[in-house]
Amino acid sequence: MSCRLFIDSSVLFAAAYSTRGHAHDLIQMGIRGQVTLVISRLVLEETRRNLVASAPEGLPALDRLLDNLSVEIVQPTKEEVLAAAEHTALKDAPILAAARAGNVDILVTLDQKHLLGKPNLEAYAQVLIRTPGDTYREITKAK
């Protein structure tokens, strides 16, 4: 059984920006079919917008990663996003809702302020919320 990971824009940005680090390692695991990566259209749009604004040199790498990657795209409903907004900041609600709707095992993020270390969000979304490093260690330990 493949582990299902929801990748948020902070992780996709990090993977496109640098070939080092566990964000990139997880994307490579997705390319190799070792994990199933799930994202939303919002994650794609936000990642591209953030790269354009602060690291345009990462855009070609993002395109290469996406060309080689088979991702599952989930689109939460407006109702799912509004329900998630009752548990987190409105800007993070679409991510939480997408992870919940995507039936993933882990929501992978670098968002220390709003998502990580929040057991109430994990309980609501019914997923673990972890950093790329913690996720990588958990997956590779389990094999």
Question: What pLDDT score does 70 carry?
Answer: 86
- Residue 51 CA from chain centroid, whole number: 16
**Encoding tokens for residue 8?**
């948020």
Question: What pLDDT score does 141 carry?
Answer: 87
Higher per-residue confidence, 69 vs 93: 93
User: What mean pLDDT comes out for the span 44-69?
Assistant: 93
| Domain coverage including residue 83 | 3-142
Find out whether 131 and 107 touch, Cβ atoms under 8 Å. no
CATH number for the domain spanning 48: value is 3.40.50.1010
- Confidence class of residue 142 from pLDDT cuts 50, 70 and 90? low
Q: Cα separation of 143 and 48, whole Å? A: 33
**Encoding tokens for residue 135?**
């996720």
- Confidence class of residue 137 from pLDDT cuts 50, 70 and 90? very high
Tally of domains within the chain: 1
Question: What pLDDT score does 69 carry?
Answer: 87
Strands (E), 1-143: 3-7, 35-39, 71-73, 106-108, 128-130
Percent of the chain with pLDDT over 70: 98
pLDDT surpassing 90 at residue 78: yes
In degrees, to the nearest 5, what angle opens at C-alpha 27 toward C-alphas 33 and 67? 80
User: What mean pLDDT comes out for the span 119-133?
Assistant: 94
pLDDT surpassing 60 at residue 1: no
Indicate yes or no: pTM above 0.85.
yes
Beta-carbon-side half-sphere exposure of residue 1 (alpha carbons within 13 Å): 6
Closest CA to 39 of 26, 21, 22: 26
Q: Cα separation of 49 and 9, whole Å? A: 10
pLDDT surpassing 90 at residue 106: yes
